[in-house]
Amino acid sequence: MKFSWRVLVLWTLPALVIGFFFWQGAFSGTPDMSKNTATTRMTYGRFLEYLDADRVSNVDLYEGGRTAIVEAVDPELENRVQRVRVDLPSSSPELISKLKEKGVSFDAHPMRNDGAIWGLLGNLIFPILLITGLFFLFRRSSNMPGGPGQAMNFGKSKARFQMEAKTGVKFDDVAGIEEAKEELQEVVTFLKLPEKFTAVGARIPKGVLLVGPPGTGKTLLAKAIAGEAGVPFFSISGSEFVEMFVGVGASRVRDLFKKAKDNAPCIIFIDEIDAVGRQRGAGIGGGNDEREQTLNQLLTEMDGFEGNTGIIIIAATNRPDVLDAALLRPGRFDRQVTVDAPDVKGRLEVLKVHARNKKLDSGVSLEVIARRTPGFTGADLANLLNEAAILTARRRKEAITNLEIDNAVDRVVAGMEGTPLVDSKSKRLIAYHEIGHAIAGTLLKDHDPVQKVTLIPRGQAQGLTWFTPNEEQGLITRGQLKARITGALGGRAAEDVIFGSAEVTTGAGGDLQQVSGMARQMVTRFGMSDLGPISLESQQGEVFLGRDWMTRSEYSEAIASRVDAQVRVIVEECYQTARRFILENRIVMDRLVDLLIEKETIDGEEFRQIVAEYTSVPEKPQYMPSI
Ligand code: ADP
Ligand code: ZN
């Protein structure tokens, strides 16, 4: 198997193609941007931690520095190299200097290539490269643990799309997104029994657009359709169409459709279609020719085959709003299916799917985990159980217990654990800060209950107060928002009251950012201020450069300054409430701080009991058992 692949790779491809890709592989170490090699995503914060811990060996920047493929080693897994994908903030000049400082090798890959020069270079050094390439191929395939797999990736580069004859994924493997599943069940019938539809003159749709945030299972769903219908699965990521030489994207589209036609009925899956399908003519400085050519080719191909040839194209995106209208026209991606992060019931289903092959202690309740993880996507939950399993193995236990799950949740949410500070003034300050959050959170009736307070650092945070969300975060009342703002200000209020205004620290920076964000939204989006029930902002998230530049903000300067004033009123009121909690509960705070410094962690139940000895604690709807 190993050998035949190599032969196939080496001798059946046109020489130039080989040379070109080896050139990439050997010199720039270009990882394949396909989901194949970097399905796992890492948050930017986590990436920085890895960087600090010298666990990053190589970084490749894409899309003008907005995405990176990072190679990190995991000492816990015998230094296995892992390739993960990181979305970077739009500008991070410090990152480059940090990479330099850490001595990490990095490289940037242009979005639009200066084709001619690179092409020429590629041709000139081709002979040397071929040899180096061969060398690398053999070396890699014999040394790497996953040898043949690595070598095969070069081969696959030829087409840059993957074909799986049998995905082996079934609808049973996809959980928690029932509506989407139901919608797509029909697609399986289109593929299996097209006659049923064509007989009555129905046109079988060609394209389905899956809309939803990363990690919610869009790829999995597309694979499940192929798996259920027993048809081959072709996949490519939109970003792979556009990062190459001019003209290559379009020819890739042609190749892909040709291959698909030969293998019909089949599924074509295009991930991140927004990378290629953005509105044409938008963007500063005109469009991107390469991308537009590719998009045009895609449209042409979609129009070129009859609806009943048995090819169904499934595309995924998180930004349907930036897509070119032509893509959404009837006969193209005219069906849209939303795939959202699962609710508590959905999370339980996802956990059940991923717990199938894991050994869980009888004390572990998946339901409790589901409740503790609002906002987690399917991928997060899968990751969570996997982290717990790794921890279990490391601790040489027989089965995953609540402790490992608990640690894994903390780790997935807040990053890796650090070493606690030694007792010092700053440790006391952090303790007061955290207890400040927890006291405010406990005494506010509308605030989620405290789950635990800890001084064990995680990620960027030196201490953390965890709250247990009581119910699904559906509708949030004004009272709850104000409670959250007050709770978030509790940390700074404690620093201020106890240490004096000259001693307050930068540690509250993150809290304050959240506070401003929440207060501003109360005014401009939810009509919860004296300005009255008006909405001043469209719900647009990220700026789509070029288009949004042309739309001015929707309100006048005069309104803007009233907004600012209202934001200040809300924040000020909440801050005074938080200060009052601290002033009135100084004695119990001192006791809690001593306890926290001694024990590092206080759990919510104990915290409430101690507070209740001094003052009355409001009853909150049903506390979650802490796990
Ligand atoms: P997306 O394509 O939406 O970014 P993926 O389909 O690639 O997400 O999900 C990544 C992994 O997360 C999947 O391989 C699967 O293990 C897990 N996962 C995500 N969503 C679900 C789900 N709804 N049910 C089961 N597993 C899921
Ligand atoms: Zn804080």
pLDDT (tens digit per residue) in 358-399: 999 998 889 888 888 888 899 999 999 999 999 999 999 999
- Asked if residue 33 belongs to a domain, the reply is no
- Residues of the chain short of pLDDT 50, as ranges, are 1-37, 112-116, 119-122, 126-127, 129-131, 134, 138-158, 285, 541-551, 623-627
Which residues lie across from 466 on neighbouring strands? 452
CATH number reported for the structural domain that contains residue 44 in this entry:
3.30.720.210
Q: Residue 349: its pLDDT value, please?
A: 93
- Asked if residue 94 belongs to a domain, the reply is yes
* Together in a domain, 479 and 588: yes
Counting from 1 in the atom list of ligand 1, the atom nearest the Cα of 213 is 3
- Proximal ligand: closest to the CA of 338: 1
* Together in a domain, 104 and 148: no
Helix (H) or strand (E) holding 70: strand 67-74
- Asked if residue 34 belongs to a domain, the reply is no
* Together in a domain, 195 and 319: yes
Q: Residue 337: its pLDDT value, please?
A: 92
Q: Residue 609: its pLDDT value, please?
A: 94
Please say whether the beta carbons of 414 and 461 come within 8 A: yes
* Together in a domain, 216 and 324: yes
* Together in a domain, 213 and 326: yes
Q: Residue 183: its pLDDT value, please?
A: 87
- Asked if residue 622 belongs to a domain, the reply is no
- Asked if residue 624 belongs to a domain, the reply is no
Does 491 contact ligand 1 (Cβ within 6 A)?
Answer: no
Last residue in a domain, options 386, 414, 442 = 414
How far apart, in whole angstroms, are the C-alpha atoms of residue 487 and residue 255?
Answer: 57
Which of 515, 466, 463 has the alpha carbon at shortest distance from 488?
Answer: 515
Structure tokens at 573: 């009121």
* Together in a domain, 464 and 348: no
Which of 100, 65, 89, 240 has the alpha carbon at shortest distance from 162?
Answer: 240
* Together in a domain, 63 and 75: yes
Last residue in a domain, options 414, 435, 465 = 414
Which of 423, 435, 428, 453 has the alpha carbon at shortest distance from 586?
Answer: 435
Q: Residue 62: its pLDDT value, please?
A: 80
Side by side, the strands of the sheet bearing 266-271 are 162-164, 233-237, 266-271, 311-317, 207-211, 335-338
- Asked if residue 130 belongs to a domain, the reply is yes
Does 382 contact ligand 1 (Cβ within 6 A)?
Answer: yes
How far apart, in whole angstroms, are the C-alpha atoms of residue 323 and residue 277?
Answer: 5
- Asked if residue 621 belongs to a domain, the reply is no
Nearest CA to ligand 1 atom 25: 174
Q: What are the φ and ψ backbone dihedral angles of 453, each rounded to 5 degrees?
A: -120, 135
* Together in a domain, 72 and 172: no
Q: Residue 374: its pLDDT value, please?
A: 81
Does 316 contact ligand 1 (Cβ within 6 A)?
Answer: yes
How far apart, in whole angstroms, are the C-alpha atoms of residue 536 and residue 551?
Answer: 14
573 assigned to active site: no
What is the tally of structural domains in the chain?
5
Please return the burial class of 397, using the count of CB atoms within 10 Å of its CB with bins 0-12, 13-18 and 19+: middle
Last residue in a domain, options 365, 386, 414 = 414
Does 210 contact ligand 1 (Cβ within 6 A)?
Answer: no
Please say whether the beta carbons of 147 and 2 come within 8 A: yes
* Together in a domain, 375 and 233: no
- Asked if residue 566 belongs to a domain, the reply is yes
**Which of 220, 269, 274, 366 to probe ligand 1 with, by most ligand atoms within 8 A of CB?**
220
Q: Report yes or no on whether pTM surpasses 0.95.
A: no
Interior/surface letters 528-564, b for 16+ CB within 10 angstroms, e for the rest: bbebeeeebeeeeeeebebbeeeeeeeeeeeeeebbe
Distance 507 CA to ligand 1 centre (A): 35
CATH number reported for the structural domain that contains residue 605 in this entry:
1.20.58.760
How far apart, in whole angstroms, are the C-alpha atoms of residue 26 and residue 264?
Answer: 36
Does 350 contact ligand 1 (Cβ within 6 A)?
Answer: yes
Distance 194 CA to ligand 1 centre (A): 28
* Together in a domain, 206 and 274: yes
Distance 381 CA to ligand 1 centre (A): 9
Which of 601, 588, 575 has the alpha carbon at shortest distance from 439?
Answer: 588
Q: Residue 554: its pLDDT value, please?
A: 64
How far apart, in whole angstroms, are the C-alpha atoms of residue 102 and residue 544?
Answer: 33
How far apart, in whole angstroms, are the C-alpha atoms of residue 292 and residue 241?
Answer: 11
Which of 125, 413, 112, 448 has the alpha carbon at shortest distance from 275?
Answer: 112
Full domain range(s) for residue 50: 40-111
Distance 9 CA to ligand 2 centre (A): 55
* Together in a domain, 351 and 332: no
How far apart, in whole angstroms, are the C-alpha atoms of residue 345 and residue 341?
Answer: 11
* Together in a domain, 137 and 234: no
How far apart, in whole angstroms, are the C-alpha atoms of residue 501 and residue 521?
Answer: 28
SS3 270: strand
Structure tokens at 480: 């709850």
